[in-house]
């Protein structure tokens, strides 16, 4: 299953710790969005392992900094601003899978986030992130300036360079949110306990990477640039 997802479908590495947590029964639902919808999904492979899979074709807005909003339909004149993507949802329970997918597709953010196992405070904050669009990184820059603290267990930024995010695809409400920290620690524990020690070390190394953000346009870099401000994770 890992080979099918991360090699064949080229699922981004930020999903890996969430997938492992799902395999261990610590997540009820796994949601995966892939760019190439032409490749068939090996549904029988997952059914043989007790997992139901649902597939939906969606549109993702073309935005920078690894942020894109998902929509079910788009007007023809706006198609140039969107890419076709496929969302795979996976669950052990068919009814939960249908309920989650309905919530995800029709904007019930709280229900969808609850199924994904995200902290309630972070779920409630997602509206703020969405409103910033591709300036989402500035939310965390402001948060860091306010609290002068950034836990490595809340570092979602590796997703911007294709790295392995220690907190999966969660948008923490704050870089010092204790609930987000515990969520990241739980993912790391699952990866370690299933035996992927070297991968857990990569997760930690990526999570400790210092990030630089342009407060004007939300640009994110691992390399310092003029006007960019740092976030130091520890």
pLDDT digits (tens, 9 = 90+) for 213-225: 999 999 999 999 9
The rounded distance, in Å, linking the Cα atoms of 206 and 43 is 32
Q: What number is the average pLDDT over the span 120-127?
A: 95
For the chain, what is the mean pLDDT? 91
Q: What number is the average pLDDT over the span 70-85?
A: 68
Residue 174's pLDDT is 98
For the cut 60, the answer to whether the pLDDT of residue 66 exceeds it is no
Residue 231's pLDDT is 97
Of 179, 89, 202, the C-alpha closest to 171 is: 179
Residue 33's pLDDT is 86
Of 10, 14, 18, 19, the C-alpha closest to 37 is: 10
Q: What number is the average pLDDT over the span 146-154?
A: 96
For the cut 90, the answer to whether the pLDDT of residue 106 exceeds it is no
For the cut 70, the answer to whether the pLDDT of residue 149 exceeds it is yes
Q: Which residues of 116-145 are buried (b: 16+ CB within 10 A; e: fewer)?
A: bbbbeebbebbeebeeeebbbbbbbbebbe
Residue 29's pLDDT is 97
Name the pLDDT band for 39 (thresholds 50, 70, 90): confident
The rounded distance, in Å, linking the Cα atoms of 143 and 122 is 14
Q: What number is the average pLDDT over the span 56-65?
A: 68
Q: What number is the average pLDDT over the span 162-166?
A: 93
- 52's CB contacts (< 8 A; 6+ apart) are 46, 90, 91, 92, 93, 94, 97
DSSP letters of 155-189?
A: --GGGGGT---TTTT---S-TT-HHHHHHHHHHHH
Residue 73's pLDDT is 67
Name the pLDDT band for 85 (thresholds 50, 70, 90): confident
Listed in sequence order, the DSSP H helices in 55-93 are none
């Amino acid at each position: 299953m890992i080979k099918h997802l991360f090699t064949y479908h080229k699922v981004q590495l930020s999903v890996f710790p969430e997938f492992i947590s799902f395999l261990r029964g610590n997540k009820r639902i796994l949601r995966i969005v892939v760019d190439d919808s032409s490749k068939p999904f090996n549904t029988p492979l997952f059914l043989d392992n007790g997992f139901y899979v649902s597939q939906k074709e969606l549109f993702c807005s073309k935005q920078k900094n690894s942020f894109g909003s998902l929509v079910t339909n788009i007007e023809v004149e706006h198609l140039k601003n969107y890419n076709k993507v496929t969302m795979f949802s996976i669950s052990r329970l068919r009814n939960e899978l249908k309920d989650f997918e309905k919530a995800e597709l029709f904007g019930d953010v709280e229900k969808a986030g609850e199924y994904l196992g995200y902290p309630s405070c972070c779920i409630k904050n997602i509206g703020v992130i969405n409103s910033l669009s591709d300036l989402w990184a500035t939310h965390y820059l402001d948060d860091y300036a306010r609290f002068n603290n950034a836990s490595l267990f809340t570092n979602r930024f590796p997703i911007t360079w294709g790295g392995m995010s220690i907190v999966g695809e969660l948008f923490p409400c704050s870089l010092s949110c204790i609930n987000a920290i515990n969520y990241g620690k739980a993912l790391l524990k699952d990866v370690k306990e299933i035996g992927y020690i070297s991968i857990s070390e990569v997760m930690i190394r990526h999570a400790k990477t210092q990030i630089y953000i342009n407060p004007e346009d939300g640009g994110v870099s691992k390399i310092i640039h003029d006007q960019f401000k740092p976030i130091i994770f520890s």
